[in-house]
Amino acid sequence: MSKLSRQNLILDLVQQETVANQEQLRKLLLRQGFDVTQATLSRDINELALVKTPGGYSVSRGDHQAEPSFHSAGRLVREFVIEVREAQNLLVIKTATGSAQPVAAAIDSDGWPEIVGTVAGDDTILVISQNKKNANRVSLRIKGMMQ
């Protein structure tokens, strides 16, 4: 199943029904046979220029002011990250409730070379690095953004 097919389905889904968040969209895609990661879905949303409105995701038409799907990682970290803990090559990042996915998406979209991937829940992000040294670099970078 190609990227083009997946992205066309995403556009169809957000135009046909209210899609409130990435997890709901991921589940809708899964029902259609597309098993995607949160990072892939974040990239698709970014590439499709979907916007997040109070009514859920929609296709940007340029004729209304909607909240952009992606914000700078620095601003989101400063606003929503509560704690960063290291565990070998992993980081556990605690956020305000409901903020983990946008923070992880912003970090993913920045393409930090030290990060292999992220997994976001509701208020917790798991960041996976290649090694302990890279995890420490990411931890220091995020803690610096929090100030």
Whether residue 82 is found in the same domain as residue 140:
yes
The pLDDT tens digits for 15-51 are 888 998 888 999 999 999 999 888 888 888 888 888 8
pTM above 0.75, yes or no: no
Cβ–Cβ under 8 Å, residues 97 and 66: no
Walking along the chain (147 residues) 10 residues at a time, the average pLDDT comes out as 81 88 91 88 84 81 45 81 96 92 87 91 95 96 90
Structural domain ending residue among the three candidates 16, 44, 68 = 68
Number of folded domains that form the chain: 2
Structural domain ending residue among the three candidates 41, 68, 95 = 68
Whether residue 57 is found in the same domain as residue 83:
no
Whether residue 61 is found in the same domain as residue 112:
no
Task: Report DSSP letters for 10-72, one per residue.
Answer: HHHHHHHS---SHHHHHHHHHHTT----HHHHHHHHHHTTEEEETTEEEE--SSS--EES---
Whether residue 55 is found in the same domain as residue 78:
no
